[in-house]
Amino acid sequence: MTTYLATVTVTVVGDLSAEEAAGMSDALGASDHSVMPGRVVLHVPGEAPDLLTATAAAHRHAAEVLDEYPFEIDVEEHPAF
């Protein structure tokens, strides 16, 4: 299987505590995250047979975890972790 890295950018209205950002990161299985004004960027590694499958899985997983937050996802092939 190929390793992919999903960059999930979550739009946040108002302030997000460090604990909330860490909770998002943990729930998504992110390898890291950064908090910026109005958004949180998370990097979520995963494996899939192809880019289409990886992208679909990343969208499903993020939608389940981030149901109340708008988000965008960019998935690219990544060297194995």
Task: Output the DSSP codes for 19-62.
Answer: HHHHHHHHHHT-SEEEEETTEEEEEEEEEESSHHHHHHHHHHHH
Sheet containing 2-11: order of strands: 32-36, 39-48, 2-11, 71-77
Q: What is the pLDDT of residue 80?
A: 64
The answer, yes or no, to whether residue 61 has pLDDT greater than 70, is yes
For 41-55, how does the pLDDT look when each residue is reduced to its tens digit (9 = 90+)?
999 999 999 999 999
For 7-39, how does the pLDDT look when each residue is reduced to its tens digit (9 = 90+)?
999 999 888 888 999 999 999 999 999 999 899
In angstroms, rounded to a whole number, what is the distance separating the alpha carbons of residues 47 and 23?
A: 22
pTM reported for the whole predicted model: 0.91
